Amino acid sequence: MTTLIVALLAGLSATSLGGAGLMLRRSRRDARVARERALAGTGPEPSAPQGDRLLATIGQLGGKVSGGKSSRTLKEQLAAAGWHDPAAPAVYLGAKAALFVLSSVGLLLALLATSLPLALQLFASVFSGALLSFVPNVVVSLRRARRRRDIDRHLPDAVDLLEICVSSGMGLDAAWSAVSDQIRGVSETFADEMELTTLEISLGIPRADALRHMAARTGVDDLSSLVALLVQAERLGASIADALTTFARSLREIRSQRAEESAEKMSVKLMFPMVLFIFPSLLLIMVGPAVIQLVKVIGSK
């Protein structure tokens, strides 16, 4: 019976991981298709592969669960994770509902063959369903954190390139587009966000609002500071090149201070593995032979 339960849980876990993989595969396609639709207007849509059909079915389920409505917070969280498609909230809710139902029903059918009380069977089924329904939450949180780290890591390079382009005489919009093309080689995530901002500006959204939208989507503090600096410099008529130079210098100083802080914390973090793993091994190597000889001497007497 234990083997059956373990096999069932392993199958449900594989199913949930597969669904998460499909959601990850669709993220970049969603952003690209959104840009193509906005630039090209109406046109024939590409044929959807099997994975997209499955996601469409899950989205229909999520639409029925949510009644066709989703909270603004959920949309912002999914946008921060890279899912800009309007159907993303429905797919997210549908995945949670599907995992809950499949896990609960599957485990309940497996437990019906046992002699456990019915109340315990129902509790275990509902608990497993509730547990697996949090898999989409974990996927979204991990993806948001990964995108933030990627943007935060490549932001200093983007600021330096932006400062060089503006200092050479390019306008801010042209410099922004040039930097987005150049940064794509090292960070597609950052490049997609910059291109999405350029697209919003080309569609008539004020530059300040488009920059603020990017800062809100990504959730990176340093990027929010850059956006505030650009908006303030444009509003006051100050030199954007000088402002970018000052910001790049302060950004490098902040990164240096963060690196020093991480290095100082490293000694404290290394204490736990040293106490748990290294010190016992050294103690065994140094004291072990003496203990063996002592046991032999005592045994011979």
pLDDT score of 13: 52
Q: Name which of 179, 190, 177 is nearest 151 in CA terms.
A: 190
pLDDT score of 262: 84
Residues in the chain predicted with pLDDT less than 70, given as ranges, are: 1-52, 55, 62, 65-70, 301
What's the pLDDT tens digit per position in 191-242? Answer: 888 888 888 888 888 888 888 888 888 888 888 888 888 888 888 888 888 8
What's the pLDDT tens digit per position in 256-270? Answer: 888 888 888 888 888
Domains within the chain, CATH numbers bracketed: 2-39+49-133 (no CATH), 146-254 (1.20.81)
For 77, 79, 81, the CA distances from 72, given in Å and listed in that order, are 9, 10, 14
Q: Name which of 33, 13, 34, 20 is nearest 92 in CA terms.
A: 20
pLDDT score of 58: 74
pLDDT score of 233: 84
Distance CA 51, CA 55 (A): 6
Per-residue exposure over 83-92, b if at least 16 CB sit within 10 Å of its own CB, e if not:
bbbebbbbbb
pLDDT score of 40: 44
Measured from the Cβ of residue 71, the count of other Cβ atoms closer than 10 Å reads: 10
Total residue length of the chain:
301
Distance CA 46, CA 85 (A): 15
pLDDT score of 270: 83
For residues 35 and 70, is the Cβ–Cβ distance under 8 A? Answer: no
Distance CA 282, CA 263 (A): 25
pLDDT score of 264: 84
Q: Name which of 32, 38, 37, 90 is nearest 64 in CA terms.
A: 90
pLDDT score of 32: 53
pLDDT score of 221: 84
Left, alpha or beta for 17 (phi > 0: left; psi -120 to 50: alpha)? alpha
pLDDT score of 301: 65
Paired tokens of 294: 């002592």
Total-model pTM: 0.65
Side-chain-side CA neighbours of residue 233 (13 Å): 17
